[in-house]
Structure 1
């Protein structure tokens, strides 16, 4: 069923059932207005920990907190009616133990209304994912380039080349066994992404992976071209709002300095209106 045809938001099992069918559409969102714009078009919306870099100017996702994710999760929830909301678990909120992961995942779901959480990691997170799903917490997994692990991965590099392909495939199988309802493949070679998609029974959501994945996700600010200098290889810009916005701000500044704004149509008269207020007889 298409996003525009739905009357209610899908649930994790609905996303799982889309495996091999119509490609799953997703974007990140961090605010109510952005969520409202994508609600009719996305199958699920991710409140990503990328919010730390996109909206808060952090150098990576490592400084994102639980309170930040919950704040933005609540904002996004207010803008959604047809799309499912997934919220990222921030760095340090789930790695210590399955019990820690459950405490924080249940808090995120309870305080935001999220239908699921997303966490990073493959085989080493298998027990944690199984622990969560057994206790009613739907999990979207995330393997390949995992931004919370950039310090150990050596930066934002493609993952799964050469001998590393076998481990990444095992990671995909592990999160599937553990009960994840889908898995994000980030910055993975196309051939490997296609092979993983064919081997596992849950949907793959690509970002810098392959058109053959079961779905796709992008950071909405990247896709809209809100950043004028930053453009990853895997991003297609569907607009150039950063350029348009900067030009608009420059035009506004020029009008203010030239006393062209506000003009007569933007200010108020000291006279009472000639007509009665609307709705009065």
Structure 2
């Protein structure tokens, strides 16, 4: 069954959880797609996982379009999301031109990091037929603003602000939202506040969906391993079985457990 934005919205309405993962080439995309993953993200995480850089900031739109084309050739059913790289949506015109490149390369949805300041950009993209996924909480493109990869939404004031920003992204027309690097209760609060599907990464197991960088799910992480990462390949010994286990545990609400979540 081909997954669309409407599919994920229906899953949320039916209180059914779903799993997503990153991929950067056709081979892994095909494996994940055939295992039954709901959505695949071509993440600007490729800056670190593929290029070996220390952040996502050096990723270009050319690189994102290339990897999106590669992934799209391996996918038959999963929804394909593609990240808009750093500074490729600083203006509405830039956003439209660069989102068009990703959609032409095979993306079904583009993902932007940021809140209410992107409302006009999101609305314009949606009016032009480009579905948008928001991204709030720990937004890696803002690493220099945050002073590092730091957990967000730890106190009541910052939690309230994150929820407000998420609601603004939804009101602007986003079809879904990724919430990253927040305590479990913040992830739950965001999910309950929004009508669109909320996909968590390091946000507890109360979100509608989960996403993992494929390297974190297969034990290929270089350098720092985030708390939410889990090596499903080590548990199964087979990539397809590892992804199926990941999907099953997400759908059952088993993963992430408290050991793989930020509690405060």
What is the TM-score when the length of structure 1 is the normalising length? Answer: 0.80
Equivalent in 35, 38, 41 of residue 46 of structure 1: 41
How many aligned positions are there? Answer: 234
How many Å separate the matches in 2 of 1:183 and 1:227? 24
Alignment deviations for residues 201-227 of structure 1 (CA, whole Å, 9 cap, x no partner):
001100000211000000001110013
Equivalent in 127, 130, 141 of residue 137 of structure 1: 130
Match of 1:37?
31
Match of 2:229?
235
Match of 1:275?
none
How many Å separate the matches in 2 of 1:154 and 1:90? 19
How many Å separate the matches in 1 of 2:192 and 2:223? 36
Equivalent in 181, 184, 191 of residue 178 of structure 2: 184
- Show the 5 A alignment for 1:165-204: 165-204=159-198
Listed as ranges, the gaps of 5+ residues in structure 2 are 239-264
Report the alpha carbon displacement of residue 240 of structure 1 after superposing the two structures with TM.
4.2
Correspondence 1:154 to 2:147: yes
Equivalent in 53, 69, 74 of residue 69 of structure 2: 74
Match of 2:9?
16
Report the alpha carbon displacement of residue 229 of structure 1 after superposing the two structures with TM.
4.9
Q: Is the 8 A contact 1:27 1:42 kept in 2?
A: yes
How many Å separate the matches in 1 of 2:125 and 2:108? 13
Q: Which entry has the higher C-alpha Rg, 1 or 2?
A: 1
Match of 1:207?
201
Match of 1:127?
120
Report the alpha carbon displacement of residue 85 of structure 1 after superposing the two structures with TM.
0.7
SS in 1 for 2:3: coil
Q: Is the 8 A contact 1:105 1:117 kept in 2?
A: yes
Q: What is the Cα-based RMSD across aligned positions, in Å?
A: 1.7
Match of 2:260?
none
How many Å separate the matches in 2 of 1:227 and 1:157? 18
What is the TM-score when the length of structure 2 is the normalising length? Answer: 0.85
Higher RCO by CA contacts (8 Å cutoff, separation 6 or greater): 2
Listed as ranges, the gaps of 5+ residues in structure 1 are 1-5, 245-281
Q: Is the 8 A contact 1:226 1:240 kept in 2?
A: no
